[in-house]
């Protein structure tokens, strides 16, 4: 059952990812990407990262994809008149990505010996354990990321402002 769920979610994620790349209409790409994100959230739940799954859905499907959709609607791009690249370039892109995949799979050799740590700590995905790690070991990166978000907000506002004197 768990194994079936794993392969089903993997299939959904890969198929949706493929559709993101190949869909002509940007809005369809966004919707397929949301499907892929939900499949990945399912993977997180299987991996005992429940809080991560919820945050993933809220941040990605809830915020980032809405931002994408609103920009597509704002710029009125929801038509499929994107000029295609030439066939040679398409072939080159596919070959390059395929070679990258071959390299990754080649690098897989030796990972069969990695087995799960025993005993398994099933509490690591909960807020309590994550918060302890986040606010003890990773306190400085946490503060720095707050600064990063602030600068991103200011940067976005400054960039889209019309007449900045």
Partner 1 sequence: MENISAQITQVAPLEHYILLSAVLFSLGVLGVLLRRNVIVMFMSIELMLNACNLLLAAFSAFHSSAAGQVFVFFIMIVAAAEVAVGLAIIVMLYRNIHSIDINELSKLKW
Tell whether residue 127 is a contact of partner 1 (CB under 8 A). Answer: no
- Burial environment of residue 130 by CB neighbours within 10 A (0 to 12, 13 to 18, 19 or more): middle
By CB under 8 A, tell whether 72 contacts partner 1: yes
**Minimum distance between the CB of residue 165 and partner 1, rounded to whole angstroms?**
16
Q: Which of 87, 88, 105, 140 binds partner 1 (CB under 8 A)?
A: 105
| Smallest distance from partner 1 to CB 55, Å | 7
- For residue 73, state whether it binds partner 1 (rule: CB under 8 A): no
Among 54, 55, 57, 61, binds partner 1 (CB under 8 A): 55
Cβ 45 to partner 1, closest distance in Å? 8
Contact 39/9 with Cβ under 8 angstroms? Answer: yes
139 binds partner 1 (CB under 8 A): no
Interacting residues of 41 by C-beta distance below 8 A, sequence separation 6+? 53, 56, 57, 61
Contact status: 35 vs partner 1 (CB under 8 A): no
Nearer to partner 1, 21 or 165 (CB): 21
Q: Which of 73, 79, 143, 151 binds partner 1 (CB under 8 A)?
A: 151
Output the six-digit token pair for 23: 């869909």
Nearest one of 163, 1, 18, 2 to 101, comparing CA atoms: 18
Structure tokens at 28: 């369809």
Whether 76 contacts 25, CB under 8 Å: no
């Amino acid at each position: 059952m768990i194994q079936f769920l794993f392969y089903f979610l993997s299939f959904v994620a890969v198929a949706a990812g493929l559709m993101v790349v190949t869909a002509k209409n940007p809005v369809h790409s966004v919707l397929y990407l949301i499907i892929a994100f939900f499949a990945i959230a399912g993977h997180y739940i299987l991996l005992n990262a429940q809080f991560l799954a919820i945050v993933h859905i809220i941040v990605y499907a809830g915020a980032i994809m809405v931002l994408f959709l609103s920009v597509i609607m704002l710029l009125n791009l929801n038509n499929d008149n994107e000029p295609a690249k030439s066939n040679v370039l398409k072939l080159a892109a596919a070959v390059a990505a395929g070679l990258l995949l071959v390299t990754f799979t080649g690098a897989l050799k030796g990972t069969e010996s990695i087995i799960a740590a025993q005993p398994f700590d099933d509490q690591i995905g909960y807020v309590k354990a994550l918060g302890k790690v986040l606010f003890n070991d990773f306190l400085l990166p946490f503060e720095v990321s707050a600064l990063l978000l602030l600068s991103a907000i200011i940067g976005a506002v400054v960039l889209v402002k019309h007449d900045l004197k």
